[in-house]
Structure 1
Amino acid sequence: MTENTEPIISLKNLTMQYSEKHVLNGIDLDVHKGQIIGYIGPNGAGKSTTLKIILGLVDGYGGKVEVFGEDILTGNHAYKKKIGYVPENAEIYDNLTACEYLTFVGELYGLDAEEAEQKAENLMQAFEMADVFHARISSFSKGMKQKVLITSSLLHDPDLIFLDEPLSGLDANSVMIMKDILEELAKRGKTIFYSSHIMDVVEKISNRIVLIADGQIRADGSFEELQVESKEGSLENIFNQLTGFDEHREKAEQFVKIITNESVREQVTENVRDGKSVGDENE
């Protein structure tokens, strides 16, 4: 996939190692303006590590990382003001009200307090949370807290948005709203780096999908391009094919058999057939 414009993110031979474990093994990736990148892979593949390195939250990596054309090691940190981030597991000041928290975040990004509060209230109203804008976050459900986090990441109108499992806890209506938000932001030239395990959502919203496994890129292209290459119908099937995970049905059946005691009954039947008593295996 080639673009004529300078990439918003450029990763060159990105490597990362924790103790003896190699998490990233030479990632080369250019991300361009207006793209919605679906960044997927198995647990431990290096998805969150990649995001944290780009965000400047993790050091000790190898290779080169450029954001907005600047090397994040040698440039200044002004680029972070143009970034929005929803982490997978976020800490939030839940003793504050939504109004207090969002106004505080807005001020950190350079908005004045009045502008931040008004903008936050309007965004919360769009998320159908205007009635709890002045309530303490500690009283919110998981989904409501997630809406506050999403709002805080977009409040300052960032050019580059990182979303790590952003739909966690959201109800069906909010998921649809969020998908439309991302599409509208991309139309306005925002670049979105979206990491998730929910394949059907990634399939629907991403105009480019990057799949990593064992710290390396295994596939990179639109969903339609990946379909042609792999000859699979759904992103889930493409994922399973490229990561070599083809035991999901077998493992699911085994799990259910244990729950319903079918495996125990099958073992008893087998023992009877072989002429063993139930307690023979424990002797």
Structure 2
Amino acid sequence: MALDVKNLVGGYSQVPVLKDVSFDVHDGELVGLIGLNGAGKSTTINHIIGLLTPFSGTIEINGYQISQNNAEYKKQIAYIPEIPVLYNELTLREHIEMTIMAYALDREQAWNRAHDLLQTFRLDNKLEWFPVDFSKGMKQKVMIVCAFLTDAKMFVIDEPFLGLDPLAVNDLLNLINDRKQHGCSILMSTHVLDTAERFCDRFVLINDGQIKIEGDLAQIKGAFPNAGDSLNNIYLSLAKGEA
């Protein structure tokens, strides 16, 4: 099991945002983290990637806990944030070099992989450019390239489709599927529910800092029989307080 979250209580102040949150992500699995704005998705992700410290509960990735082995825990994770985080003074080439150093990757192998990713996302002629000046979609592609350049076993992806053109969305989904086939695990937060419905293996629905339900699409539909026959309709029912 790649990710195991148990009885997580946490947040940004003394008042917890997350209330006894438990769920898991298995090896080779894509799990969609679904919920309204303010439901606790970003807070959950920030705890998983180590930006927040739990009030109580545990988060384990491939047997590592951040409190016990910070370096090994973080080496397991590649993170793609909703808002790209780039450095003003670094070119695209230097962003890639920094990723290689941060993850202690074999340089030759990493650059071979990087060139393939750059070609896939049509960035191979922009190595000497400064990504901070790119469009939103191009910045997102830089974050994707840097994440999938690594040997991470656990990918945490927050709203990856915002700003991406349809071709880039397809390229990203192909990358995710390839990594799944190699045993990697992906936790993806998204509001693009028609895509999530087609590609996610399971879903974690979070509402008001608590897990509403965890399961595959059939289990989710079964839990909300009056909400409609799609993830989008179930989501709308949650938004209206009908589910």
TM-score (norm. length: structure 1): 0.79
> How far apart are the structure 2 equivalents of 1:70 and 1:158?
13
Give the paired residue count. Answer: 240
Deviation readout 1:113-165 (Å, 9 max, x if unpaired): 44433432221011122122232223421111110111111111211000011
Indicate the residue corresponding to 1:143 in structure 2: 137
Letter of the 2:51 partner, please give it: L
> How far apart are the structure 1 equivalents of 2:5 and 2:132?
39
1:77 aligns with 2:86: no
Indicate the residue corresponding to 2:182 in structure 1: 188
Indicate the residue corresponding to 2:119 in structure 1: 125
Once the two structures are TM-superposed, the CA of residue 240 in structure 1 deviates from its matched residue by: 2.3
Work out whether residues 104 and 113 of structure 1, in 8 Å CA contact, stay in contact via their aligned partners in 2: no
Work out whether residues 11 and 43 of structure 2, in 8 Å CA contact, stay in contact via their aligned partners in 1: no
Unaligned runs of 5+ in 2: none
Letter of the 1:141 partner, please give it: S
Which protein is richer in helix relative to its size?
1
Residue 163 of structure 2 aligns to a residue whose secondary structure is coil
> How far apart are the structure 2 equivalents of 1:206 and 1:46?
20
**Correspondence for 2:212 among 218, 224, 248:** 218
1:53 aligns with 2:44: no
RCO comparison, higher one (Cα < 8 Å, 6+) = 2
Indicate the residue corresponding to 1:91 in structure 2: 85
Letter of the 1:202 partner, please give it: A
Letter of the 2:3 partner, please give it: I
**Correspondence for 2:170 among 169, 176, 189:** 176
Work out whether residues 103 and 116 of structure 1, in 8 Å CA contact, stay in contact via their aligned partners in 2: no
> How far apart are the structure 2 equivalents of 1:21 and 1:213?
16
Residue identity over aligned pairs, in percent, reads 37
**Correspondence for 2:236 among 196, 221, 240:** 240
Deviates more, 1:34-43 or 1:18-27: 18-27
Task: Please identify the structure whose Cα radius of gyration is greater.
Answer: 1
CA RMSD of aligned residues (A): 1.9
Once the two structures are TM-superposed, the CA of residue 34 in structure 1 deviates from its matched residue by: 1.0
Residue 26 of structure 1 aligns to a residue whose secondary structure is strand
> How far apart are the structure 1 equivalents of 2:16 and 2:146?
33
Deviation readout 1:168-198 (Å, 9 max, x if unpaired): 2111111111112212211221100001121
Letter of the 1:41 partner, please give it: G
